[in-house]
């Protein structure tokens, strides 16, 4: 696949993740969304649910990974790509590695909690037994604006 075709596909899936993020925001959750793709098929998606579920682990990434595990009948999500509107935190980055996700694509960088390079880079730890191909900044402005609007309304 050419670089342009891959970039177009990444943008299309990130737009789906943005839809999940907007739905989470409409429920009063921090607007982060995730979409899990195998080949060209969306097999799972998630949005933040921590507030409604009273579960600090219910981040969009975790919700998508859980649904992906159920869809594939395995916690190993080999050959999948996870699209997330915000750079994953340490918990989510660790879960992505443990799930054996092949590729992570995220939108906005998170300078306060991001674990793909902002405050640390979990994916670069040499001791881990799985490597994830990480690419950030896809639709970064749109992803960041959604979060900024949400927090501006809460102030």
Q: Within its chain, how far is the Cα of 25 from the centroid?
A: 15
Q: For residue 12, what are its two tokens?
A: 């299309």
Of the residues 61, 63, 87, 141, only one is catalytic, namely: 61
Paired residues of 42 in beta bridges: 37
> What would the two tokens of residue 97 be?
């590695």
**To the nearest 5 percent, what fractions of the chain are helix, strand and coil?**
45, 20, 35
CA distance 108 to 117: 12
Is 145 designated active site? no
Q: Which residues are catalytic?
A: 61
């Amino acid at each position: 696949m050419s670089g342009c075709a891959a970039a177009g596909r990444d943008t299309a899936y990130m737009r789906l993740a943005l839809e999940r993020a907007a739905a989470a925001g409409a429920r009063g959750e921090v607007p982060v969304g995730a979409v899990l793709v195998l080949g060209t098929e969306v097999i799972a998606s998630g949005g933040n649910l921590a507030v409604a579920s009273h579960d600090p682990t219910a981040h969009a990434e975790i919700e998508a990974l859980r649904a992906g595990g159920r869809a594939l009948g395995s916690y190993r999500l080999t050959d999948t790509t996870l699209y997330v509107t915000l750079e994953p935190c340490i918990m989510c980055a660790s879960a992505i590695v443990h799930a054996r996700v092949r590729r992570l694509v995220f939108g906005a960088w998170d300078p306060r909690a991001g674990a793909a390079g902002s405050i640390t880079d979990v994916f670069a730890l040499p001791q881990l037994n799985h490597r994830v191909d990480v690419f950030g900044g896809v639709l970064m402005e749109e992803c960041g604006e959604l979060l900024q609007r949400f927090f501006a309304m809460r102030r």
